[in-house]
Chain A
């Protein structure tokens, strides 16, 4: 196995184009496990861990893009989860909550959102939050740069929309303009792979609600019908402005529609029936928490729920 260590970003792109069989690696929390367990024998590893560009965390101001009225965070592909937790709680609360549930502190110090996207496992913790926020993936090759909407990124189980010569440079996530939440279910209270997960993001300025689901379909998915439904309920009752409670029947219907967006399977981690059930429960709770925060008029959409890191 060759070990390729480009000195800069340009060389990395050149190597990527030359050696499409080389597997990109940064934190190694996924790739090394697969290699050590004999699950993967790549002809080469392309080590991106030393490239400064991938560790950059930039704040892009608001522009014309209506999908990002407060601007975006450009999150370098190798920025570890621990930085997402400690530095982005205010700007990307949903993603920060999701990052906090990843593995152990050691894993969070190495693993990154870019790695989660590269692996494209349906159980990746970041995906639901990226879907709920409307993120886009900055994919770069020697041919140029593409911005892939996250909705178009997941193609199948562990398959994504990257071309063989492309690398993930960053993920660009709209700054939150309203409360966001993330919940996942696992059979123990820490260090667990998601049985299923839900992220909800309120976008009050646009009158929209984003909902992402993890580990309950061959890919991470958005719950579009549920999004449309609840956006309609909120608009019809002028609830965004009046900040009245969401009628319980509407919250229940929303939860049913989120569950309906799943196509789960039975596996060692849980049954399909349980996943549907749990997704509905989490959808209702996370929507409720977001809405409570919106009603309280919280201008500071920091993630709620205690200590920043464990």
Chain B
């Protein structure tokens, strides 16, 4: 099998089996499916999550939240709450200690505690610290808040109407000057070529309006952490988060403390998916701890968690695609309206992604895209796996199927004809300068044999006892024995950026040490990377072993005693913090060789002049592998330790009128084929198989990579058929629980065969390509395409609900009108 790194443009990369390993200096290096250190404790329940934090003298913090989506606060009276025995503090906006009273990832528009206005259902208004969580809850119920309800803004028409209430008057953020209305957070056009001329040439034009519901990250570990005052005015914060330093940069100004007085340590994180990028309880716990002088623990329950983090932007998307007779795309227009809810969070970056990736992984010479995010009174929306690219992918892939139907062409063939490849231009005119095997990925999933037809699909004998209901739509609920069950097959492919974009200084920091412990060399790796389940701690060990030829690697707890690692998001951590760890390891390696030469090369033996000396299996060896001296012997009592920042190549902002610019670091691609069965009588769906092919550049840990792809695929399936936060016309959340916000169970999860391509990106460490998000994009439209094929229904909205798949006597409302 050829090494993929030598064949960056190879049309067919090798398929990597899960146990694939490569030759590395010691076991457990890059390319091995090393077991994750937190795997067994998580499965057995021994893993300590942030919600397990405990301190003998701690108090419990609780947040009072607004019952209204939009209201003026006339007065707040905390006296009854303060009088409850066991209550140690009740804080409101008036108790904030510093000039800065807001936080926010991109725009500091979010009040730490509401002052005179609440803008969404669940906005924090007051805090209580008490001896017991139940006392804190009851005391919070006694805080009297005098609200005056205001009209709610819930959609684009309402937000941009002439008399619309302006949700954030007096904006001074960097987008304020260019947006057409103050209730628009950010607007980004991307225009290329001449759409009008192309439209005149097009043989076929299809248009469509699509809608994506509000998906939740649904991480299992609720927001939690503990703040411990240090007795000198500073505080230690232990918390489950996605980016320690971004938290710190927002916390310090609100507390009025220099950053070095706040020490943050990552606690066990139970999933994130973007939902922990924004602050939740961090500042609140610190405020209570500093006020009471006691450690304060805060843990949201499941209901509060739904109010405690941002969600995926719901979106309305209007697309037009044109093609010539051969199916070559002539042009595309898109208008993508994202509902950002009450506060900005990462809406501007989500807009940038939706706009720049809105044409999909296709070559489109003429493009006119407009993406924008609204301020409304709906729940704040921000980062979630796929980040603006998910919404666009559902729409453009639905359009590609529609276009194929209009042309009478096979939908995969239409995609292949327009697929981008290395050297293609994005609508932003950025050159895709590494592998972009879009056609190849589609071909990989298409040529897999289909799962065998099942007896009920052909109306064949069902047996006296009927089939196992778990095999059928409806599952255990026993709704069909095959009656009305129809199969459908659908395809989709998507494009996602890797890393932070638009000129952001997206660095990471690693501190790597090498010393002798118990006679053996040991590497220590210290970063502030948040391990949220992605497996970074596994990969850092593999990188250190590979670069330093030392088997024993200690991964230090992530904290702010080392420089920022950036966010665990945007599929970036293996690339960026992995790159920083490798960079620091290479520098340590240089110092080690230098030290070895100094200590042992003085005898004039020419072997020490070999420029290719390297550490291998615990020793310094020559280029030919001759073992010279053990690493432990070289080090003796000395420690080598290096901390360095590392950066990927820079990006640049998108032009605010044209969208032009080299905005992204790297692109990643995945394709899916979905096979579904639909009970057309009841509108119930069973996804039978959801095959994925993805180019990962280089799989540092193939088992983890496959896990990421399967997880992303299931999250996309959830958006396709069940996951949605329902918000009423009053902008209140209606299903803040796992009883009514449904995520897929194992019976909803199909077989997910994964094929990995490894076409190295020469710009990236080890040639790797970020993995985590791309599979979340194409999964959703592939499932919906399969349901369309099974039912013949147009389906413009996700999640698809049972009532969308049957003919009802009274038509269901709430669907965009099919064009």
Contacts and interface: CB of A to CB of B under 8 A. Distances in A.
A285 interface: yes
Contacts of B622: none
B474 A305 contact: no
B470 interface: yes
B809 A274 contact: no
B681 interface: yes
B478 A97 contact: yes
B470 A310 contact: yes
A190 B722 contact: no
A106 interface: no
A190 B686 CA distance: 11
Contacts of B740: 193, 268-269
Q: Which of B474, B737, B809 gathers most chain A CB within 10 Å?
A: B474
Interface in B160-197: none
Contact of A189 (B476, B734, B812): B476
Contacts of A183: 474, 477-479
Interface in B772-819: 801-803, 806, 808-812
Nearest to B800: A187
Contact of B812 (A192, A269, A273): A273
B682 A278 contact: yes
Q: Which of B473, B474, B477, B483 gathers most chain A CB within 10 Å?
A: B477
B744 interface: yes
A249 interface: no
A185 B479 contact: yes
Contacts of B467: 305-306
A274 B470 contact: no
A181 B812 CA distance: 29
A270 B801 CA distance: 9
A193 B684 CA distance: 15
A10 B438 CA distance: 73
Given A190-B748, A276-B809, A184 B478 contact: yes
Contacts, number: 133
A60 interface: no
Given A285-B483, A305-B465, A187 B476 contact: no
Contacts of B465: 304-306
Contacts of B92: none
A304 B466 contact: yes
A274 B803 contact: yes
A37 B303 contact: yes
Contacts of B658: none
Contact of B470 (A181, A193, A306): A306
Contact of A278 (B739, B744, B802): B802
A274 B809 CA distance: 9
A281 interface: yes
Contacts of A38: 137
A185 B808 contact: no
A101 interface: yes
Contacts of B801: 187, 270
A270 B722 CA distance: 12
B43 interface: no
Contacts of B468: 305-307
Contacts of B806: 274, 277-278
Contact of A187 (B478, B483, B722, B739): B722
B803 A270 contact: yes
A194 to B, nearest CB: 8
Given A270-B803, A282-B682, A310 B476 contact: yes
Contacts of A269: 740
A196 B806 CA distance: 15
Given A185-B802, A306-B467, A192 B303 contact: no
Contacts of A310: 470, 476, 747
Contact of A307 (B470, B479, B686): B470
Contacts of B466: 289, 304-306
A245 interface: no
Contacts of A268: 726, 734-735, 740
A184 B686 CA distance: 15
A36 B476 contact: no
Contacts of A277: 803, 806, 808-809
Interface in A256-310: 268-274, 276-278, 281-282, 285, 289, 296, 304-307, 310
- Classify chain A: how many residues form its interface, as a range: 35 or more
A254 interface: no
B737 A189 contact: no
A33 to B, nearest CB: 8
A281 B682 contact: yes
Contact of B742 (A97, A192, A305): A192
A191 interface: yes
B479 A190 contact: no
B57 interface: no
Contacts of B476: 100-101, 189-190, 310
B447 to A, nearest CB: 29
Nearest to A286: B478
Given A184-B479, A306-B466, A189 B747 contact: yes
B624 interface: no
A92 interface: no
A195 interface: yes
B809 A186 contact: no
B803 A273 contact: yes
A96 to B, nearest CB: 11
Given A189-B473, A304-B465, A306-B470, A195 B802 contact: yes
B480 interface: yes
Contacts of A187: 684, 721-722, 742, 801-802
A306 B468 CA distance: 4
A81 B812 CA distance: 35
Given A190-B748, A304-B466, A306-B469, A271 B803 contact: yes
Given A36-B301, A187-B722, A305 B802 contact: no
Contacts of B481: 285, 289, 305
A143 interface: no
Nearest to B744: A188
Nearest to B469: A305
B375 to A, nearest CB: 26
A59 B801 CA distance: 43
A240 interface: no
A310 to B, nearest CB: 6
A70 to B, nearest CB: 22
Nearest to A98: B478
Contacts of B721: 187-188
Contacts of A289: 466, 481
Given A188-B742, A188-B745, A189-B686, A182 B478 contact: yes
Nearest to B477: A184
B475 interface: yes
Q: Which of B473, B686, B734, B806 gathers most chain A CB within 10 Å?
A: B806
B1 interface: no
Given A183-B477, A268-B740, A281-B682, A190 B747 contact: yes
Q: Which of A268, A296, A306, A310 gathers most chain B CB within 10 Å?
A: A306
Contact of B478 (A101, A191, A273, A278): A101
Contact of B464 (A184, A195, A296): A296
B144 to A, nearest CB: 18
A268 B801 CA distance: 11
A36 B465 CA distance: 42
A306 B301 CA distance: 38
B752 to A, nearest CB: 16
7 contacts: A97-B478, A187-B721, A188-B748, A189-B470, A189-B474, A274-B808, A289-B466
> Which 3 residue pairs spanning A and B have beta carbons closest together?
A189-B475, A306-B468, A274-B803
Given A268-B726, A285-B480, 15 more contacts: A183-B474, A184-B479, A185-B684, A187-B684, A188-B744, A189-B747, A190-B470, A192-B742, A195-B802, A268-B734, A273-B808, A273-B810, A277-B808, A305-B466, A305-B467
Interface of A: 36-38, 97, 100-101, 181-195, 268-274, 276-278, 281-282, 285, 289, 296, 304-307, 310
